[in-house]
Structure formats: structure tokens, C-alpha cells
Amino acid sequence: MRINKTWKAITAVLLAAGMLLGGCGSAAQEKTQADSEAAGAAAASSVETVEETVVENVVSESAAEEKGEEAVIDTVSASSVETEVQAAAEKEDVIRIGALSGPTAMGLVELMDRAEAGETVNTYAFAELSTEASAFVAPLVQGELDIAVIPSNLASVVYNKTEGGIKVLAAAVLGVQYIVERGESIQSVADLSGKTIYATGQGAVPEAVLRTVLKGNGLEMDTDVTMHWCADTTEALSYVAADEAAIAMLPQPFATAAGAKVEGLHTALDLSEEWKALDNGSEVVTAVAVVRKAFAEEHPEAVASFMEEYRASAACVESDPDTTAERIEKYGILPAAALAKKALPSCSIVCIEGEEMKTMLSGYLQILADNDPAMVGGSLPKDDFYE
């Protein structure tokens, strides 16, 4: 079976799109791997079909495969930061920024492009984009990065690990998880009753999001809905490709790429919208922009200028999707501008600050903590976490 590089590139984005939601991850990886190995010949055949017929026509580039990585600070080396960022460490006038690839970095591409052209107020050095949620944690903790755009629950973990050493500047990405199917059986959350859902993210944030939405609609996971946890999104999609009645939970931009290639595959439910419908005082906040507290205190004007430029950059996603899509391809976030443009409306890129950000984020973290305190680092952040 031939491995398609484009599929791996899109899959890699998932850690930064959907699986990044897992933040601290879980011990469920061994179980999901066992499930994957036991999936059977039908699933294996479906994967081959996906690789040969679904992905064949998507433009090719390569990237790392999706992994359910645990964001453990102590195991991350500062060498994960790009050399040019390390070289900039001694220059006080350079702001060093890190971000995950995928939707998390999409709101930065206009700023990255202008910084490269020398057209920004501040001077920026951007670390190499990564699909590993933990890649910038140690450099951020050790003061080798000043600002980072990372999963919101990971930001809470870092806050706790550093005893309040970072704070949130803005919500950067809202919900990116979608229920997809090839048929028309799912018109509401209630329609998931009695169904099997193929998904990734067991024991992590994707599971918590789905569990919360189900419970808010009177359904219990594993009682009213059967979960088939997969090792990665490629496996989850293979079941949908093989069975017209199958249902999956997929993150963006993977869901868009898959929908363009699997006949009849479409979004049945936007879990972010379903979460909002619960009216619980929060929203799904996938990622946030954070700053080291010490840096913010020492360079308030530089941080204020960054926020002005970051707001403008995030706004370009909606105001100029064509150029944004080209930049997304330029920086290797997705392999093709056409795919990026199609996925952008569903990637939930925002720049939300102040009380609005605090309300939606604090409520979201509270619900994650109610599911599993480890997801937020053991305890909820204090008020100084919110800028």
C-alpha cells in the first residue's frame, strides 16, 4: 500500500487542529492502538481506498503523522526552538513567537508575512511551526519564547507549572470538531442516540467536548452512544469511506479535505455550535495567545503593539481569504491554497480579548476540569491568568 505524502501532511495538521485539544493527553493511547490493530481487513482495505482515491488528487507535501502526544514540560528540550529564535534571544528588541501548525497558526500568517518583509512595528522572530503541542512549552517556560499560540488547556497547564508565569492575551481559535457522515441520518444531537461514532481523542479534550454536548442533550456516552476510538483520523475516516452509514467526529481542516474527496461526506453537526446551544456561559476555545508574565511587565508597549498587529492579522482571515490561503500554503500549514481557502470558514480563527475572552475561556476550562482536572493542570487558573 503506497503512503501518500499529502495525506500525512493533512493528518499532521490534526494535532494542531483537533488533537491539540488533548493538551495533556491521556493513557488511552495503548488501548486505541490495540483497537486499531484489531480493526480487521475491512478497515485496512478502506484505508487503502482512502489513500489511493481520496488523497490522490490533493496536492502533495509531507509532514509528521498525527500522534496523541502528552504535553509534558519536563521532557521537552529547548532545542525544539528554531535556531534563528535562539539567536534572537540576546536581542532585547526582538519578540520571539512560537505557534502550532494548523488553525492555531493561521491567524498569524499575515503578521508572519509582513514581519518577513520588514513591515511590522515590532521585530519578530518566529520559531518553526510544529505539530507537537509540547514543542514550545520548555522554551516558553525557560524564557526563550516571549509569546506563543497554544492549546487553551495546555496554557492552563503551563500556568500551573510556572506558578502563574504566563497569561492569556486573546482567544485565537474556537471549536474545530465536527460530526460528519455520508447519509442524512443526523439532523440533531438527539439523532446520535443508538449510533456508533468513530473518533480520536479518547481521554482528552475531544472526548470531553463530545461528552459535554451529548450530556447537555440528554445522552450519555457509552450508554446511549457507542464510541469507537481510533488511533488517528485516517483510521476514523476509513470506516466512513467503507460504510455509507458510518458517522465520525473529525477536526478541521481534515474534515474539509476529506469531504472534498469522499463522495457524499458532509458536516452533520458543528460541535462548537452545539456547545453554544447549551447556553452554559462558555464556548469551546481551542487555542489562545499567551505571553510570559515577566516579558509583559518589562515590555508593555511591545506587547500592546503585538496585539494591534495580531488583531489585524487574524482579521485578514475573513477580510482577505485568498491572500490568507496563499500564505497558509507559503508557510507550509496546508499543502495547497485551494484547500486552505475552503477550510478557513470552518477553522474558527478569532482574536477575542478582555472580558468576553475571560468569560468564554474560564467557563470552558471549568467544564474540562469537571471532566478531568489533569486536562487543565490539576487546578483552574486564577484571575491573573486572564490579561
Provide the phi-psi class of 222: left if phi over 0, else alpha when psi is between -120 and 50, else beta: left
Taken in order 296, 327, 332, 55, the sign of the CA dihedral is: positive
351 contacts 311 by C-beta, under 8 angstroms:
yes
* Sequence-distant (≥ 6) Cβ neighbours of residue 198 within 8 angstroms: 228, 230, 235, 236, 239, 240, 246, 247, 248, 249
For the chain, the C-alpha Rg in angstroms (whole number) is 20
pLDDT digits (tens, 9 = 90+) for 311-360: 999 999 999 999 999 999 999 999 999 999 999 999 999 999 999 999 99
8 Å CB contact between 127 and 273: no
Alpha carbons within 13 angstroms on the beta-carbon side of residue 315 total 6
Write the pLDDT tens digit of every residue in 236-293.
Answer: 999 999 999 999 999 999 999 999 889 999 999 999 999 999 999 899 999 999 999 9
Rounded to whole angstroms, the Cα distance separating 290 from 137 reads 11
pLDDT digits (tens, 9 = 90+) for 185-229: 999 999 999 999 999 999 999 999 999 999 999 999 999 999 999
Burial 77-110 (b: 16+ CB within 10 A, else e): ebebbbeebbebbeeeebbbbbbbbbbbbbbbbb
Instruction: Please name which of 331, 345, 322 lies closest in space to residue 109, comparing C-alpha atoms.
Output: 331
CA gap 156, 147 in Å, rounded: 15
From the centroid of its chain, how far is CA 130? 12
Alpha carbon distance 280, 283 (integer Å): 8
pLDDT of residue 5 exceeding 60, the answer is no
pLDDT per residue as tens digits for the range 86-119? 544 455 589 999 999 999 999 999 999 999 999 9
Q: What are phi and psi of 199, to 5 degrees?
A: -160, 170
Confidence band, pLDDT 50/70/90 cuts, at residue 140: confident
The C-alpha atoms of residue 155 and residue 312 are separated, in whole angstroms, by 23
Query: Do residues 284 and 252 make contact, with C-beta atoms less than 8 angstroms apart?
Result: no
User: In Å, how far are 85, 123, 129, 281, 350 from 310, measured between CA atoms?
Assistant: 19, 13, 17, 26, 10
What is d(CA 29, CA 40) in angstroms, rounded to the nearest whole number?
19
pLDDT recorded at residue 131: 82
Q: Which H/E stretch holds residue 125? A: strand 123-126
Cα–Cα distance for residue pair 103/297, rounded to 1 Å: 29
Question: Greater confidence, 131 or 44?
Answer: 131
Q: Place 130 in a pLDDT band, splitting at 50, 70 and 90.
A: confident
